[in-house]
Structure 1
Amino acid sequence: MGRAGGCGGRRTPARQRVGRAHTRGELELRERTALAVVSVGVPTDNRLRFGLTPWEGAADGGGPPAHFIGQVELAERLGFHSFWLPESHFVAQSYPAPLLLLAAAAVRTRCLRLGTTSYLLPVRHPLHVAEEVGVLDQLSGGRVILGVGRGFRRTLFEAFDVPPSEKRDRFEAALEVILRAWRGEPVIGDPDGESASGRPPVRVTPPPQQQPHPPIWVAAFGPKALAQAGRLNLPYLASPLEPLAQLVENYALHREALPRDARDVALPVPVIRTLFVSHDQSCLERVRTALEEQAQALSQQATGVLRRAGDAALDEWALVGEPEELVDGIERYREAIGLTHLIARVQVPGATPDELTRSVHLLAELAGRL
């Protein structure tokens, strides 16, 4: 069976496991732009990096930790490149502490990349983030990819006493503090970015194992968030819900916002998509029907981007079919937007636990061909 973009044979030292090496000129260029962010390089072997998000795998509806470790270990055995966790609060089956779960995954795996799809910076103190991500990167041997976001649910901001109108400013201010801390600079700052007069500066230790820092990707919805990610010279992590045509527009907007002298340096193009594969036509039809019903319910409850996603045809935001159909669908994304990293959202309604697990095995087989 082909590998899914995992570590395969010899393990590369952690400080080198960040795609291709950057030339000195590229590093100097990135240090002159935005927040001096250095992003993971685009793979030079043209192979798609294939990651997974959790699936429940049991009919009892247990919470996320119940089956998480087994799923992570299976992902590594099957050769997937990465495993990803969202962050969510105050909803059923929440993931309120993704770094804790990824720390557990780090000690049970050897080469699987460990990522967050949207670690919410506006509701955290940036020094805590710098410390905790640094520890996780050390613990994992330099395998962290930090996907960051702002959050959008009003209940989230109210619970953490953060004015929603400040989320974008807090996000950028927090990111600046985190990056300065990882560069070893003395830092002073509050979560809202205000300098704390009278407090002594501090240096954060340990630093991340990946230098100058782990790859940082930005989960973004809407023109303002896309423009902010581009202006900061950060890769944009596309959502699982927006149709491909919308992603083409989004990546164009993101590219236009990049610093002018950084536009020739290729960034990763990661996308989260709902994927399900099977040879059983009755199973595929059942999953398609359940996903369409789920999308219709979302459309009735949501607004803006989420409503448009709910109104879109299923094959515009999900790939459900036999292996060859999924290969063709994934190639459409590579041709349209230059897809480099595919994060599979594999928990789908309408499928049994065994069918979900078989789908993951089939995804690993087809990933070796991409």
Structure 2
Amino acid sequence: MSLDLKIGVAGWLGTSIPTARVVSQQAMQAESLGFHSFWFPENHFVTGGSIPSPLLLLAAAATQTTKLVLGTGSYLLPIRNPIEVAEEVAVLDQLSGGRIILGVGRGYQKKTYAAYKTSVGNKRELFEDALNIMLEAWAGDPIDTIYDTEEPAYLSPLPVQSPYPPVWIAAFGPKALQQAGRLGFPYLASPIETLVALEANYAIHRNAQEVSRPKGSTTRPIMRTVFISKKASVLTKVREKLDAETRSRVGPPVSAIRESAKSCSDDWALVGEPAEVEEKIFLYKEKLGMTHLIATRARLSCLTTQQFASSLHYLADIMNKN
């Protein structure tokens, strides 16, 4: 049976933002192994691991690749000027030759909203307003301003992809899932929720989409932590570390954290020997209709660079044989 699935990989960090050379090397490796896409998330004020501007990192990757699709894991719209985002995404789409997927989200860290002098209480309204402004700008509509001007303003350049790059919405909780479905955009599933939770999430998203956008997207991208090895002792250690990491998680999104804390890592991570992980990937495709898998890297100090590299090659083998 053919897997018929697009598999991408997330870029990874050490203790600080990687240099352009490191980002380019990671992207070139992903492209040479045949992966579909390369991703960076967005986060702020995380000691030794912040990625405040994933678009800049993807710009570095764009200059050294030709086919690799480049995506943001969850670009935070409520804290940004939507016209500026529309312009920057359009420029990056031009720079890459039309290879951008824009994963967008709301975020949940109160300190991020506070630092950007934005209210976390109306993040969903801010998110939807920003997205609508961006879509109108990409469509070539005149940009609304608060001042009377003699000539209307239009976005330039426009994205290569018409009418705009694919937009995926990261969501936690029923309200966010309903919003994504109502707007007709794919739901980008997080790497920390269990398979059972994702089934429920997709039902909420699907029901909302069927009511307002019956011809909405059928794309189903899912992020999962992936580690593959042929050594049982290494896999045991990884599972133990991931289980401990799950139990130590605190803070929102509360529902996702609480559920994953009750489970073992096998409920939310793809860890195992090549055949075992391949079987799990088929299960996600069967249960959820997964169309895209975005493999994130387990941040575990017990693993060596070579073990990570081997895991990536095993995943590429699974992808290329199907």
TM-score over 0.5 (shorter chain): yes
What residue is the counterpart of 1:161 in the other structure? 117
Equivalent in 180, 192, 207 of residue 241 of structure 1: 192
Amino acid at match of 2:305: P
What residue is the counterpart of 2:53 in the other structure? 97
SS of equivalent residue, structure 1 residue 72: helix
What residue is the counterpart of 1:361 in the other structure? 313
1:49 aligns with 2:12: no
d(CA) in 2 for partners of 1:289 and 1:181? Answer: 48
Equivalent in 240, 257, 261 of residue 310 of structure 1: 261
Equivalent in 79, 83, 88 of residue 34 of structure 2: 79
Amino acid at match of 2:6: R
What residue is the counterpart of 1:10 in the other structure? none
d(CA) in 1 for partners of 2:9 and 2:110? Answer: 28
State the structure with bigger RCO (CA 8 A, min sep 6), 1 or 2: 1
Aligned pair count? 317
d(CA) in 2 for partners of 1:310 and 1:134? Answer: 40
Superposed CA offset, 1:141-179 (max 9, x none)? 000000000110000000000011121111000111101
What residue is the counterpart of 1:27 in the other structure? none
Superposed CA offset, 1:342-364 (max 9, x none)? 00012331311110111111111
d(CA) in 1 for partners of 2:321 and 2:34? Answer: 13
SS of equivalent residue, structure 1 residue 50: strand
1:64 aligns with 2:18: yes
d(CA) in 2 for partners of 1:221 and 1:153? Answer: 13
Question: How well do the aligned residues superpose, as a CA RMSD in angstroms?
Answer: 1.8
Shift of 1:301: 8.6
Shift of 1:307: 2.6
What residue is the counterpart of 1:272 in the other structure? 223
d(CA) in 2 for partners of 1:91 and 1:360? Answer: 26
Amino acid at match of 1:281: A
Contact kept, 8 Å, 1:299 with 1:308, in 2: the verdict is no
Identify if the C-alpha distance between structure 1 residues 364 and 202 changes in structure 2 by more than 3 Å, giving closer, same or farther: same
Q: Which segments of 5 or more consecutive residues in structure 2 lack a partner in the other structure?
A: none
Shift of 1:79: 0.6
Amino acid at match of 1:71: Q
Aligned pairs for 1:1-370 within 5 A: 47-56=4-13, 61-65=15-19, 67-92=22-47, 93-188=49-144, 196-198=146-148, 201-260=152-211, 262-264=213-215, 266-299=217-250, 303-349=254-300, 350-370=302-322
Structure 1 runs of 4+ aligned residues shifted over 6 Å read none
d(CA) in 2 for partners of 1:121 and 1:105? Answer: 22
Amino acid at match of 1:73: M
d(CA) in 2 for partners of 1:89 and 1:299? Answer: 17
Larger CA deviation: 296-305 vs 206-215: 296-305
SS of equivalent residue, structure 1 residue 258: helix
Amino acid at match of 1:141: G
Q: Which segments of 5 or more consecutive residues in structure 1 lack a partner in the other structure?
A: 1-44, 190-195
Percent identical among aligned pairs is 46
The alignment's TM-score, normalised by the length of structure 1, stands at: 0.82
d(CA) in 2 for partners of 1:64 and 1:96? Answer: 12
Amino acid at match of 1:111: K
Contact kept, 8 Å, 1:346 with 1:360, in 2: the verdict is no
Contact kept, 8 Å, 1:299 with 1:309, in 2: the verdict is no
Amino acid at match of 1:47: D
Amino acid at match of 2:181: G
Shift of 1:257: 0.4
Shift of 1:369: 3.2
Identify if the C-alpha distance between structure 1 residues 265 and 130 changes in structure 2 by more than 3 Å, giving closer, same or farther: closer
d(CA) in 2 for partners of 1:52 and 1:347? Answer: 12
d(CA) in 2 for partners of 1:120 and 1:266? Answer: 21
SS of equivalent residue, structure 2 residue 7: strand
The alignment's TM-score, normalised by the length of structure 2, stands at: 0.94
Shift of 1:368: 1.7
Shift of 1:267: 1.5
d(CA) in 2 for partners of 1:201 and 1:127? Answer: 14
Shift of 1:281: 1.2
Amino acid at match of 2:100: V
